[in-house]
Every structure is written in structure tokens, then in C-alpha cells.
Structure 1
């Protein structure tokens, strides 16, 4: 995902970490929020944690379900509580998964409480000098309220798609490098080709299941056949 990492470096990390004369000259402001979207299991949460790690900021992770409540006005208060907690830090990263459940479009069929939650959250995101970066993730970007994706809010959107063949091979190598195996170089390429359409989470699960098979028969190594059975 070199292109995605390069875009995040240019648009997110550089404005937030460098006092750059060129950026100051053209009044380039760092983003308040970025949106990661794509199929389940492609690494959106991993990207959010990596961004926080690159920035060196405290990291708050929650899902939309942690904020939403069935009690009237409680969801709005939870939104305010989240940003009050964030205000305790000089800088921090807030990651919210399944943001579509929190910021779904405000049409006439939705409860007034939901509209209030959306309005309250977006008001915080409009902060002119925030101490936070909000990273949100969704599998359904089409469900988001249009106001959430306008300039100054989640206007920076990045698709985290399924890994290509090179990425799948890299994931396999990372997951298998500390396990005893009988794989040769050609096996990694073969498995990468055979796992087309798999997400990163699918590949991790495949390795874990194959390792369990090897452990159950008390094998000395995880074999190429253990993995091929799990493709």
C-alpha cells in the first residue's frame, strides 16, 4: 500500500509534525479528521494505530456503539465527554470505528436525537485549533451524512482496499517469519497468487488455522500443505 502510505505522509503526517516554511507560506492547515473506508478486514484500524504511532500522540480507540445510546440525550453527552477527555492531552489521536452508525445521513425518517448527535459531533470537528486528529473508519462510506465529508471535516478520504498480490505475499512473510515452516521462496509467491480476493484479516486467519492444524498433529514444522488446505 505504498501509494496510500505516501498520501497519508504528505497530507496528514507532514502538516502535523513539521514546521515547514513552504506549508506556512501557503497557509496549509493540518486536517481535523480523516476517513478510512473499504471492505472489512483490510487494515483500517491498523492504519489508524500506525498514524498515531508515527505522530507519537496518545491514542483513543472506540466504536460508534461506544457512543450511541438508546436513552434520549445520552449519546450527545457521550460525544461531549469524548472531546472533554481528549482535551486533557496536548495532542491526541481519536479513532472511531463504524462511524457510519454515528454519522448516518439525517433524513426525515431518523429520530431527532440522531440529528442532534450528528450536529454535536460535527461542531467539535469544526474546531479551528484542535488538539486532536479524528480518524474514522467505515465499510459503508455511502451512508455518511453529506455534511460530515465537506471541507474541514472528513474531507480527506482514503480507500483501504484488498491487498494486491505483492501485499499478500508480504503479509504471509510477516505472519510466518517466527513460525517453523518448510516453505521455500516459490511457496510464498504461489500462496499469494492463490489468495486473490482475500483481505489481510483473511490471510492472518488462514495462517492461524494452519498453525493450529500443525500443532494438533504435533508437527515439527508448518507445511505448505497446511496452508494450501486453508486457502
Structure 2
């Protein structure tokens, strides 16, 4: 849409410029022909047509300028608005565990966020729709992500619980009670079978190395204490 408007805007601008530049030449020729006694009425008619084209071109130029402004404003507002996504995916380090995440990848905070699953999914001894964090989250800041353990992949898929659901996310661009707050609603398909049969490589970083060293130290101290007892 924006490219189309820009292409036509350039064309109309060139038309207006050519027409405006042509007008002084038209009046100059008109005066010269008037001096030699040429039928100026016909030329005046041609001049009127040229002026009409210039007026129409100016109107079209203003129209496309307005449309370009509206499109630019809409795109800028879309970039500045919050954009919340939700998903249930295997953990990157422990693929046999499902994590539920909420992420705001937009350009501003999301306020008064709520999530409704349809059908609702079990979460321990309750349902996801009963979780306080999903019933109402006051603020999800720009670039912020909230992630927590959902369930074991193997244990969950061994049950008859639903594996597909629609997550309806509702949030506001400002606090809900603000006069300028705008409501946003997005829906996401949740499919727990989507990433099945994928192979994973578990990567370890320095944090994992530090944890392993601490565990070895604890095991060493425990063994020393047991030796002293014996």
C-alpha cells in the first residue's frame, strides 16, 4: 500500500510541476499571438484547459499526500504499540519439559493482560485459566518475557488431556481505566504435538559448569563427613 501511494505521488507531483512550469510559457505565447492578431479566444480556451489540469493535479497531490500521511501514521503507531505473544514449547535446555511463555515484542508496555484458553488446559490440580498471572497481569513491559514450567512432555502426552487449544490474549496500550487506553486482542493456536519427534542437542554453558563443580564439592564434603563417622 505504501509503495503504491509513493509511486503515484511521484507521478502526480511531476504532472503538477510540469503543468505549473507550462503556465508562464502559455501566457507568454498568448501575449505574443495577441500582438499579431491571432484568434486569442481559441488560445484562451486552451489556456483554461491547462489551468484546469493544474487544479486537478494539485487536488490529487493533496489527496495522495493525505493518504501517505495516514499510512505513515498507522505504521508508526503499529511499531509503538505492545505486541504480546504466548506459547507452550519444549524447554531449550531440557526438551522433555514444556514451558509456557508470555512475551511482549512490541514497542511499548502492555497493561491489564489476561489470557483465556479454549478449551482450557490442566495445570497441576487446577486449570490454566485459573492461574492468577493469566487472570490478570498488571504490566508486561516492552521486551519482557515471563516463562514458567508447564508440564512434563512425556507425562502430559500420556494422558487424554487436550493437546490443542486457542489462547486468546487481551491487553491494553495504557492502564485499563485510562481514557486513551486502547484494547487489543490476539489469538494463538497452541499445538503440543507440533514439535514432537524433533531431535535436540543439550548445550551446556558456564553456569552449568559452575553448578556441576558445586555438586562435586558437596559430594566430596559429604564423603569426608561419612569417612569421619566411620
TM > 0.5: no
Q: Which has the higher strand share?
A: 2
TM-score by length of 2: 0.28
Question: Rg: which structure is higher?
Answer: 2
Which structure would you say has the larger RCO, counting Cα contacts within 8 Å and 6 or more residues apart? 1
TM-score by length of 1: 0.28
